[in-house]
Structure 1
């Protein structure tokens, strides 16, 4: 892969701009125009003249562009993308249809960004404090003229938490692919296969069905490795009378899916058979409780209370779930201490688990759409223990 262009010395920093044929900020293409409009409304409400977008997935949310080492500036009238020569051809092709101005930098990013902020004559610009480094902000502050930089957190995360129709369609496609891929793998699953072999086959089957790749490194945990919530596939082999935990997801058009199923090859180990019923009951209780207005902490508490009453409270140490979209983990955080309220249009995971060191673990996970009338699983694979017994 070619590396980034060599930077010119700071005193020779220059930028080159290509203007789109469509006036900036007035893209004729939805859903990006609607997303920009919501962001501009949020900027007005927060009192910012503009926003420096440094998180690549936030740029991907606002445009179809998914390249790295790029930034964007959003003002009330313009959207400007700053990138380098590796992405020049791609961005020049996108700019007319999606209504942004393009700056191809020849020097450091802070110099190009500062020039854009100065040219736009913004009085205040928010920066993504959760993403931009302290050093980058300091350099940018010295090169943006009279524009004052202010830290902001979560402006786009808040918008991205509510999925539009195109986003939901992408997530649904990713789920269909990952489910079909797992069913193909289960057909050939046998005792004696390495965790790494099962993971590789599963990722191959997802790509074969149209995924750009897995949405995260696939987790395959055989036997006692199942007690590690984020186990890395290795040389441990599947075996009769042992469990197999699989946590996997596909990525389509930038959007991720995320599911977990736990299986037993033949007879279930006694303690894990009991744990399976406990986890499934907690999962079902949480899904049934989903509704707009319920806080994420309350939802986490419903599942946690169910597991605790069954005597496994200490064996469920992680949060209940998280939002999913362009990032596999995004807002909202479904966890103790999270006071964010569920809203219609959110897609969250619900993934209770019980982990018993030296024995194994059980986790069940679906992607759940929050609707006005409650929660609806976007997933179709069964969860009953008979189906999970191979």
Structure 2
């Protein structure tokens, strides 16, 4: 699998930027090319892959990397000097977005370095068998956590209490929360009016009878992300809540039906969005329908309006329409799925999408 990944990314780098060397600085791409997640630079050529690691990471890199020559160096300037020594007289494609680092490389003689992340994402868009197995395992963990939600959500429990319980149970099952800059919390747990905020931060608000509770779980297992959302009703659901839930459930099914190889990302978005609009909630669906998942929480392809990118077999994406009524409640339903050669996608999440009334 690793050999195929390296071959594919080198091919994409040649096509996109005329490069014969690929240099990964971002931890996700280093991991993708080497199996090591940490502070290091991966240098990939047709002759092999080298992993340049500072002393504090060297032994871990030696232990976990796959079919790499691990080169010992030090942090800072020596790390860059060692990297430059490996790419001199070559045209290198890199994912490094740090201006000062790129300038330092160029000043030290690595003048033919091209910053272009597309070859990395182009290769990572299509998952191999091992990646799909890991994402499927991560999705099964999410399903078990929704079973815990069904048992644990009660009047008086806070959003933060539920998050703590779920993180604890997830880690016992081998999953970890991802780290990303756009949120202060690892999960989205939003009760009552907080559920009307698609990216609500977890608070100390306690659940109340009659709440709709949005639980969006994004967790990493063996490096890879699974992402799902379920919305629970506590005690009872009003007529309006049931109506909105039914529309979102129908919209999500329409999106899943549309998510076939050969369809565009925009067509999947339209399948969800048009149905919600037909039911009169067009202005209350305020985000895109989905995104790619893998080593990043959000990565290409993007299931959003008018995106003409064509879905291909073995892409891993989410389908997650929602309706949000300001200061009242929100409903979102989300699955992680794999696009297949023929027919409907492989839906990785199995926890029911019928409205579950808890407590």
TM-score (ref. length: structure 2): 0.93
Secondary structure of the 2:339 match is strand
Structure 2 distance, partners of 1:214, 1:44, is 32
1:34 — aligned with what? 4
Distance 1:106 1:190, change over 3 A: closer
Distance 1:337 1:88, change over 3 A: same
Please point out which of 99, 106, 125 is paired with 1:141. Answer: 106
Secondary structure of the 1:339 match is coil
Q: How far is 1:103 from its partner?
A: 3.8
1:364 — aligned with what? 333
1:110 aligns with 2:80: yes
Please point out which of 66, 76, 93 is paired with 1:126. Answer: 93
Larger radius of gyration: 1
1:266 — aligned with what? 235
Please point out which of 172, 175, 179 is paired with 2:143. Answer: 179
TM-score (ref. length: structure 1): 0.86
Structure 2 distance, partners of 1:313, 1:107, is 51
2:322 — aligned with what? 353
1:209 aligns with 2:173: yes
CA displacement 1:171-215 (0-9 Å, x = unmatched): 111111121122123213211111100111111111122223467
Structure 2 distance, partners of 1:72, 1:215, is 22
1:198 — aligned with what? 162
1:283 aligns with 2:248: no
1:71 — aligned with what? 41
Moved more, 183-192 or 321-330: 183-192
Q: How far is 1:158 from its partner?
A: 1.0
Distance 1:384 1:290, change over 3 A: same
Q: How far is 1:40 from its partner?
A: 2.2
Task: Structure 2: state its 5+ residue gaps.
Answer: 181-185
Partners of 1:192 and 1:238 within 8 A in 2: yes
Structure 1 distance, partners of 2:345, 2:62, is 42
Structure 1 distance, partners of 2:11, 2:23, is 15
Partners of 1:80 and 1:103 within 8 A in 2: no
2:286 — aligned with what? 317
Aligned pairs (5 A) from 1:238-249: 238-249=207-218
Partners of 1:215 and 1:328 within 8 A in 2: no
Structure 2 distance, partners of 1:107, 1:160, is 29
Please point out which of 125, 131, 136 is paired with 1:167. Answer: 131
Q: How far is 1:106 from its partner?
A: 5.2
Provide the alpha-carbon RMSD of the alignment. Answer: 1.8
Secondary structure of the 2:337 match is strand
Moved more, 268-277 or 364-373: 268-277
1:377 — aligned with what? 347
1:218 — aligned with what? 187
